[in-house]
Every structure is written in structure tokens, then in C-alpha cells.
Amino acid sequence: MPRYALQVEYHGAPFAGWQRQADQPSVQGAIEAALAKLEPREHTIAAAGRTDAGVHGLAQVAHCDMEKDWDPFRLSEALNFQLKPDPVAIVKAAKVDDDWHARFSATERRYLFRILMRRAPATHEAGLVWQVKHDLDVTAMQAGADRLLGNHDFTTFRSSICQAASPQKTLDELRVERVETIGGPEIHFHVRARSFLHNQVRSFVGTLERVGAGAWTPDDVTAALEARDRAACGPVCPPQGLYLAGVTYPDAPFT
């Protein structure tokens, strides 16, 4: 059966997350239902990462196995037609080797988190950002973020329901920048690692927001990390500002 890699973009608000669920809408379920309309049978797809409810995808990657030898462009077009009106789009499709796997072949995941700083309610960006009404100190947040780089036991920044075998992970990048937009100033967090723990990025951002607001210091971030205790984490931020922004593979499937 030919295998295809899919680059998937989605708005996470209507979904209970990526993973298929019996009684709630999911991104995986929407794509599998679209595939079943092209080839009537049960389909199971795999993805590079299982995003939570409300989290968005800019460049999620999944793979599917088909019976027909589809032209990749025609497969993406057919899927996009069947996915309407769900806010899910197959941006690219590519034929890959039979042993290629969207999750296990990946060497890096990249996330983006957006905070909008303004008092007026968000309209166009509602559901796409975490809005705070106070200004944040980018320099202080970057200083706190730097304390988290490298290989650590990230128990403090790990959800209590995380199923990862170990809390030990290597964080390659956690860059904080201020971006001026028409809607108001935003803080963007660029996060990069081979893999992540459940709620790790949202735990980072919620903690660093406290540093930017002046309630924590960078030293407090170090103390929280070294505590290896979930209770030492700052507030976990809401999901709507989080985006799976990209996945890296040794041989990029879409080039």
C-alpha cells in the first residue's frame, strides 16, 4: 500500500485535540473520515505530535496508507474537498517509503506560542492568542528561558498525566521576542526540541509570563526546574496561543 506524508494546517478551537476520540471531534478523526470517502474502509493515520484541545497546527505532519497509487497533489486536493467545512487543510502531500513514519522518523519539533498584550478584547485574533492586559519584560523572560535550555529533568514542567517514559529531555531553543502588530504588541515564544513532555511548552510559557510580569525572577525559574516537583511550576497558560509550527526529518518529504 503506498504511503503518503501529509502536511496539515488546522484551527484547534472546534476540536478536542489531534487524537481520535469516540464522542468528540478531533483533527485525526476529521482526516480519517475524509480518507474513508476516497477509499471506503477504516483508516488510521499517525502524526508527529498529538496536540491538545484548542492547540493549532501550522505544519503538523501525518502519514496515511492508501490502496490506490494517488498523485500526491490530487490526493491533497481530494482530501481538502472532503474536509470542508472543518478548519483543516492538507497543505502538501508527498509519497514516502513504506517504513517512513510521521512520528518515529522525526528528529525535531518546533512550537510557536503567541501572547497578545492589550486591554481591549481581541476580535480577529480571538482564539488564536493568549491575551494579557499588562506589558511583559522580554529581556527578563529571555533570561528565565535561558535557564531551561539543555538536558534536564523537566518533572516540574510536565503534566501529571504525561505518559512519557522519562521526564529527561533536551531543550534546544526557547527564544522570546516582542513583535509589533496592527492589533497590538505580541510576545512570541519559539521552542525547539526533538520531543516534548505533555503540557511542557504551556508550562514554560505560563512560568515565563510570571517572570515578564515581575512576579518571578530568572532565579525562581532555576529553583522551579531544580525542584523536580510539579507544584513548583508557574501557572499553565491556556492552549489557544500554541501552534505546532514545524517538524524536521532527515530527508524532508515535501521538498
The set of catalytic residues is 52
Backbone angles phi, psi at 182, to 5 degrees: -60, -35
Residue 19 half-sphere exposure, CB side, CA atoms within 13 Å? 5
Chain center to CA of 118:
24
What 8-state DSSP symbol labels residue 77? H
Mark residue 127 as left, alpha or beta (left: phi above 0; alpha: psi -120 to 50; beta: remaining).
left
Q: Which long-range contacts (CB under 8 A, 24 or more apart) does 30-35 make?
A: 30/83, 30/86, 30/88, 31/6, 31/62, 31/64, 31/79, 31/83, 31/88, 31/90, 33/82, 34/79, 34/82, 34/83, 35/64, 35/66, 35/79
